[in-house]
A and B are shown apart, each in its own frame.
Chain A
Amino acid sequence: DTGVSQDPRHKITKRGQNVTFRCDPISEHNRLYWYRQTLGQGPEFLTYFQNEAQLEKSRLLSDRFSAERPKGSFSTLEIQRTEQGDSAMYLCASTPGETPGEKLFFGSGTQLSVL
């Protein structure tokens, strides 16, 4: 069990550029979450997957955000035409996805800075 891995740890980009983040969940964890966290705030739900199926995408999320989990293992989160307001820590978490109330295992996050 190597934990949830996120890549890159840090990303600096210019406004208008596209960025993509990767998350590798704990092996055999079926459920995968993406959250966004800004300083002094709680993790804001973005989207989640059960295996390769995307169960929900936050209505607060614009169409510039898209996530995939093509084979039910790793996931990618893409932000198109980045804006300064996208600057945040992007957190990935996974759970076995077998029963309700499971503990979330978080990655270390990807810190995005949009200049």
Chain B
Amino acid sequence: AQSVTQPDIHITVSEGASLELRCNYSYGATPYLFWYVQSPGQGLQLLLKYFSGDTLVQGIKGFEAEFKRSQSSFNLRKPSVHWSDAAEYFCAVGAWGSDDKIIFGKGTRLHILP
């Protein structure tokens, strides 16, 4: 069965600085991967997803993520964060075939310093 780990519970960066949020997955074959964002009191919004093809995926709000099969990772990046990026970020993994449910990580809370 698939699983996903987000090693960092909290990340703090200064506004304008670059960001990388880590995500590691476990699955025996090629997974499909997602990043969702959740602002306080808000629903989950899809930032980007990887299904196949180019391993560098562009998403909304200037985010990108890179799928690295050798490292079982799908890290989220942004070159310059804005105060409005403060939120909870969730990595999620799905699988092919009969066991294709989507599993979420525990999340990383992003704090932005002015």
Q: Are B107 and A104 interface neighbours, CB within 8 A?
A: no
Q: How large is the interface on A (under 10, 10 to 19, 20 to 34, 35 or more residues)?
A: 20 to 34
What does the 1/0 interface line of B73-110 toward A look like (CB < 8 Å)? Answer: 00000000000000010100011101111111111010
- Cα–Cα distance between A108 and B42 once the two chains are bound (Å): 8
The dominant DSSP class at the A interface is loop
Closest CB-CB distance, B113 to chain A, in whole Å? Answer: 20
Q: List 6 A-B contacts (CB under 8 A).
A: A40-B109, A42-B104, A101-B94, A103-B46, A104-B34, A104-B46
CB pair A108–B43 under 8 Å, yes or no, is yes
User: Which A residues contact B (CB, under 8 angstroms)?
Assistant: 33, 35, 40-45, 48, 55-56, 91, 100-101, 103-104, 106-109
Using C-beta atoms within 8 Å of the partner chain, give the interface range for chain B.
20 to 34
For window 46-70 of B, CB contacts with A under 8 Å fall at: 46, 49-52
**Most chain-A CB neighbours within 10 Å: which of B6, B46, B51, B104?**
B104
